[in-house]
C-alpha cells in the first residue's frame, strides 16, 4: 500500500469516528497478541498444549477439576506477565475524549481495564475474578494465588467445599445475561464500530458488528489477513492493531 493510500484510510477512519455520536469497539485475541498473549488457537497458543474440551469446558469442571486448574495456572501465568500495549491505550484515549462509548471484548485478560478503558463489556468473563460454583462465594486473585503457590489445586471453597473457578465462559456455557444485555444496548445505539483483532470465527460475538452494519453504521476493521467481516467493512487496515490504533487515536484527537 502506498503512503497516499494509507493516509487516505486514516483520514476516512478518523472522519467516521469524529462524525459518530455512538461509536463502539469489538476486540478479540489479536489485540492482546502484541502484549505477549498468543491467540489460544494459533500455533504456540494454549490449545497447542491442551485439549479445550478436556480443560476448559463445563464437562471438564465436573469430570477433570485438577486438569482444569493445571490449565488455569498456565493461562494465569501468561496473563499476569502481560501488559497493555499501544492498541489498548489507543482505544482508552478515544473513550476518554468521548469518541468511543464502549468496548465489547471477547478477551478475559483484563488489559482494557488496565489501560484505563472505563466501559468494557466482558463477553466471555474475566480471568482476574473467581467464585465457588456451588455457593457463589467470591475469591480474590490473591487468595487463589496463595493456594496455587502452596500447590493446593484444585482450589475448593472454604465455606462449602465446592469447586472454585474463574469467572469466565467455558465451552458449553452460556454468555452471562449482564454481558448480553449491555452489549445489546451498545450495539443498538451504535452508528460506528471498530473491529480490532478478531476474525469473526466465534459466535455469538461475531454477529454484533453485522448488527451495527444492518443499522446503517460504519465499520472500521483492523485485522491481519482475511476475516468474516470483509462484506461489511467500510475502512479496512490490514496491519497490526498496535500500529494502527495509536495513530488513529492521535489523528482523531488533533
Indicate the number of domains in the chain. 2
CATH number at residue 138: 3.30.1600.10
The pLDDT tens digits of the residues spanning 15-55 come to 999 999 999 999 999 999 999 987 766 666 666 677 878 88
CATH number at residue 17: 3.40.50.1220
Q: Indicate whether 228 pLDDT > 80.
A: yes
Burial class (CB in 10 A: 0-12, 13-18, 19+), 183: buried
The pLDDT tens digits of the residues spanning 188-202 come to 999 999 999 998 888
Task: Compute the distance between CA of residue 249 and CA of residue 243 in angstroms, rounded to an integer.
Answer: 11
Per the structure, the complete domain to which residue 156 belongs is given by: 38-81+129-168
Residue 252 and residue 141 share a domain = no
Among residues 168, 198, 233, the one where a domain terminates is 168
Q: Residue 124 contacts by C-beta under 8 Å, 6 or more apart in sequence?
A: 106, 107, 108, 168, 169, 175, 205
Task: Compute the distance between CA of residue 234 and CA of residue 143 in angstroms, rounded to an integer.
Answer: 47
What amino acid positions are annotated as catalytic residues?
Answer: 124
The pLDDT tens digits of the residues spanning 122-141 come to 999 999 899 999 999 999 98
For residues 219-236, average pLDDT: 94
Task: Compute the distance between CA of residue 174 and CA of residue 49 in angstroms, rounded to an integer.
Answer: 25
Residue 254 and residue 202 share a domain = yes
Asked if 251 and 14 touch (Cβ cutoff 8 Å), the reply is yes
Amino acid at each position: 500500500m502506498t503512503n497516499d493510500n494509507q493516509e487516505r484510510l486514516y483520514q476516512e477512519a478518523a472522519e467516521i469516528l469524529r462524525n459518530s455520536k455512538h461509536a463502539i469497539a469489538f476486540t478479540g485475541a489479536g489485540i492482546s497478541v502484541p502484549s505477549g498473549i498468543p491467540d489460544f488457537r494459533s500455533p504456540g497458543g494454549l490449545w497447542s498444549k491442551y485439549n479445550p474440551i478436556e480443560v476448559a469446558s463445563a464437562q471438564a469442571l465436573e469430570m477433570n477439576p485438577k486438569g482444569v486448574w493445571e490449565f488455569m495456572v498456565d493461562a494465569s501465568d501468561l496473563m499476569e506477565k502481560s501488559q497493555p500495549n499501544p492498541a489498548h491505550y489507543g482505544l482508552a484515549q478515544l473513550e476518554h475524549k468521548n469518541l468511543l462509548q464502549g468496548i465489547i471484548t471477547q478477551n478475559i485478560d483484563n488489559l482494557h481495564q488496565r489501560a484505563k478503558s472505563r466501559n468494557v463489556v466482558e463477553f466471555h468473563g474475566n480471568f482476574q475474578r473467581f467464585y465457588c460454583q456451588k455457593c457463589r462465594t467470591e475469591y480474590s486473585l490473591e487468595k487463589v494465588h496463595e493456594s496455587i503457590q502452596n500447590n493446593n489445586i484444585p482450589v475448593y471453597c472454604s465455606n462449602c467445599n465446592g469447586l472454585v473457578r474463574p469467572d469466565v465462559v467455558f465451552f458449553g456455557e452460556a454468555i452471562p445475561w449482564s454481558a448480553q444485555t449491555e452489549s445489546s444496548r451498545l450495539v443498538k445505539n451504535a452508528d460506528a464500530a471498530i473491529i480490532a483483532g478478531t476474525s469473526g470465527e466465534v459466535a455469538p460475538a461475531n454477529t454484533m458488528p453485522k448488527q451495527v452494519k444492518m443499522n446503517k453504521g460504519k465499520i472500521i476493521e483492523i485485522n491481519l489477513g482475511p476475516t468474516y467481516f470483509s462484506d461489511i467493512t467500510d475502512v479496512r487496515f490490514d496491519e497490526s492493531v498496535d500500529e494502527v490504533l495509536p495513530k488513529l487515536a492521535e489523528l482523531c484527537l488533533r
